[in-house]
Structure 1
Amino acid sequence: PLVPTGHGLNATGYLSIVSDHVHPFMTTMYPSSDGYFQQDNASCRKAPIISNWFLEHDDEFTVPQRPPQSPDLNPIEHLWDEVERELGALDAEYVCVYSEIIFRNLLRMSTLCSSIYNELRLEDTLCDTVIRAGGGLDFKVHRLILCGCSSYFRVLFCIKPASQQQVYSFPGVSPNGMQLILDYAYTGSVTVTEDNVMELFEGAELFGIQDIVQSCYSLLLQKLCSRNCISIWKLAEQYNYTELRDKAFLYMLYHFEDIAGYSAEFLLLSGEQLADIIGRDELHVKQESAVFQAVLRWVNFAPEKHRDHMTILMNTETKVEQVKNNRQCLNMVIHTIKVRRESNTNRSQLRTRLPSHVLPAFGGIDNNHTTDKTELYDVRSDYWRTVFRSDKALPESSSCVYLNGSIYYIGGCENNSYLSSVQSMGGMNYQGTLSSAERFEPETNQWSMIEPMYESRADAGSATLHGEVYVCGGRLSDGFLSSVECYNPNNNQWMLITPMTSPRAAVGVISNKDHLYVIGGYNSITYVSTVEVYDPLLKSWETASSMIHPRCNFGIAVLEDQLFVVGGVHKNGTSSVELYDGTIDSWQPVQDLEAPRFAVGCCVVERQPDTACFLL
């Protein structure tokens, strides 16, 4: 054992170390009293109280008597000699580096010892124990080395002492996992990868090697995906790692359709586990038919084995052969139909699942006044409700973004005063429209001017796509713009790209599925409903279906791969909300806001189950 002693050590201090640390260590490691304890000839080791103590315990272990300066039998003397030589070569002014030299030599000695021990293991020299992994593969090892790696092995070897080599079996640890753990025990290092993390985690957890457990834990959190989330969830459940278990389970709920459609692990779930998953309100599915198809795939994988779990299909209303051929399920269907007919239950009254992400609408202008209200849209129930009111009205025309669990509400206009924003491009001052642009660096908390745009513009729309910034349309003091500019932050250069087909300002601009969408706006004559889509690969614009209602100054966001436009101005403020489905190039109305609003800020936010205002 390594015991800190401070700056000096006398006979009394050394006696404390021997009695409190050396004695229990020797009796634990050598219960048959056949151990040897080697000490050097420092004066405190030769004091009468030390000699008397060793005489009283001479039946428990042996203390060899060696002549002074026996470097071959006291390897530490080699280290002191090396340190003295290096220190002697230094000038007095470099005394501060003494500790670094000592550390470097200790590290060198440790590495040398580890290398020697590992060579002995690989050569099957002086091995005193056999570790048998799953599959019957044996590893010859040194008990002393394993004791230094894990308290599990210390307890194991001391409870079952033996004078000759024994075999210890661990059928739950894979041969590869055991090999990696033994490599760590002898060398102090192991490489954790996606391929070995599961078996290494289980082995390290069994043997209580916390350094490996923590490395595996961190990697599992980092590499959580649809392919492995079920196995990680089961592993965390088995070893009671609640944070990892909860994150893996939540990932399963949020990515259910991908997991159910493509994961082999999904088919190996038990009926109880599957019932628990599909019964959660947080399950992320756009249509309940996806749940039915998932259950059907699970049933068809092993019909005989899964027959007793058919009742989980009753979460859907679709009639299939498996339901009609199962009397219990058929009775449930008949009973459900009867109850719904008698109660005149409407489908829209049924409880909907909770979405993984929600769409808040912040601030804006409501009834010609800035509002303090934040409304939240639930895409599952197609419903808006007020979830928060601030102490004062929120600024209008602000930008908002969601990043790492926080919502940033940026800039805007308050009492006819414009506020500082986190990203600014163009705009207007008392002299006219601007072409200047600024960039804020969060790492340095500094603003800096970047290359100005080719054209001055105000009320332009902007978005990012493929690491570049696009600025679309806008207006001058004497007209409206159709031009579009693209900024590359790598070379600090703007580039004029293909213009839009029509000039407009106060537009909604957003990127989705590798394309840039410019929606609505105003062109000095009328409010616009048209939509233009830019393909950066083809460097061209195409026209998509127009919105149902023309509007400008509206909120815009992408939720579940669909574009949402919220509120805005059409002659007066509007409360209408529409969504665009690019797969069918179609707009459709959704639930209106509670009241007409424009200059509203929108962003998609991950639903926070533990936050009251986001708990739908």
Structure 2
Amino acid sequence: MSYFLALSKSHGENVLAQYQSLRAEGLLYDVLLEANGTEFPAHKSLLACSSDYFKAMFKDYTKESKANVIHLPTVSATGLQHVLDFIYTSWLSISMETLEETLDAARYLQITEAIKLCSQYIMNNLSPENCIFFANIASHFCLPDAKLAIEKYIISNLWRSLETDFDSVGLLELNLDSMMVVLGSDDIAKVKELSLLTLTLKWLNHDESRLIYGDQLLSHIRYGLVPVEDLTNLYSQSKALQTQDTKSLVLKAVDYHSVDYKQPIEQCKQTTLRSHNTQIILVGGGTANDGLVSTVLTLDFSKGSWKSVKELKSNVQNHCVCVIGNFLYVLGGETPELNDNDAKSATMLVTNRVHRYDPRFNNWKEAAGMLEKRAQFACCVIKHAIFAIGGRSGTGLLHSSVEMYDLNTNKWEKTTELPYKMHGHASTVFNETIYISGGKYVDHRDSSKNLFSYNPLERQWKREAPMTIARFGHQMATVKQTIFTFLGMYEPFCDIEKYDPMQNQWTRLKPLLLDRFCYGIAVMDENILLVGGKKWQDSQEVATQNIIIYDVGSDSWEEAYKLPLPLYGLQCAVLQLTE
């Protein structure tokens, strides 16, 4: 015997519609629900189908199953009215004024679909004015999806709230759990840590019963990001900061600020910016019209947006940059000095000065200077040390010397010299080993193809397989297990190549369509960016504004962004910055 099943999509809706008709006509009621003195007639069968609470209540063995009136003392009449309307119609009336009563009734009576609608209403109607109210509702009624969405909203809009009076937006009324989530966030845009500390102290003092949570909340403050003067002032005025646990964090931050040269190697969560915003920073160089510039630009690679940070006091070219602990170091190079006899002309002087940029406070400090004045040299970082390698001196002579800056001692010291005196070479690091390539040697007119490696533990330079192209003023970069070399000055072709350190072997790659030199280089994930620089156009050197990206995985090039101005002679690095 054959058969088939047929489904009526309208049957369920029709049944519910009939219940609505019975309710409207006052027919077949078999129970009264009472809340705050108000009675609501209803049908047990529909209540049991809509609520686990009523389903359990109306079973044969319960006293309530025989009762004509069910008293609900913990539910308000308004909340019960809204929930019953939902049971009969599938429509839930929600407003800011009745949300708590509706949720209270829905939760008590276990109407899960009504609770979901309330949660969705909250997530769809967030604003700076109501987000604190909604956060407290979501916490009280255990609405995990809404709570997560609200806390993300509060974090992303906290800067707006802090620009106004705390009380006016209800920040001081925020529940403990959400306050903990906000303070524990690793990504809070446009908010200074001092503002978070001030907010936390005011939140604790807003209600004396909260003081027992002081250590728990204050452990999330990143005291190394608070200016030391403000930190010591607040510490002297606030008892909450003087408990044993919190005091130790404050004193650790004061120690961190007191020995600034060690800061890059003393990084921890307490000194880490609350930002996932990694950007490319451009330092030094100049334009054809304005000469060397002091402006320091940053590029948000994900958005393609530009902004400037605090200027470097010295205009510089032929310098080096490196990063340790999210601090940027700018080393050596050439800086202009105005001539006494001609105020409009300047002499380029090679320097040994080192400047350090701290994105936490957007400021520059001068670090210990190198032992030698250097331009057109190379620098690398291995662990807690900066290596300055070769280059051209202030008198025009070339260096074979190599010096190392130890951040633990704040001192430069000489280490193993290069095999040749050289300048215009490039460098990179792979597996704690320095690699330098190309450049020009003393008494040699032509550029070099040589590649050398240096392991600080072995303290000797080793000759490796040479490049296939001689290069000068070029750039190198390491991505994963591969070293890449890019165009240098006055190269007849636009070829690039990669080096496998494990196999000691070079391979030619897809060439650039256009020549380029005096550019900056930065690595973002598996992309290598060549920023600005010069190119040949009509037999003349012309500065360019474009940024081209090399995709390591696909061995392909594309033009991505444009600089705000045509810069050349710049150097680039990657830093974590605040918005």
Task: Identify whether the pair has TM-score above 0.5, normalized to the shorter chain.
Answer: no
Larger Rg: 1
| TM-score using structure 2 length | 0.43
- Name whichever structure is richer in helix by fraction: 1
* Larger RCO, structures 1/2 (Cα 8 Å, 6+ apart): 2
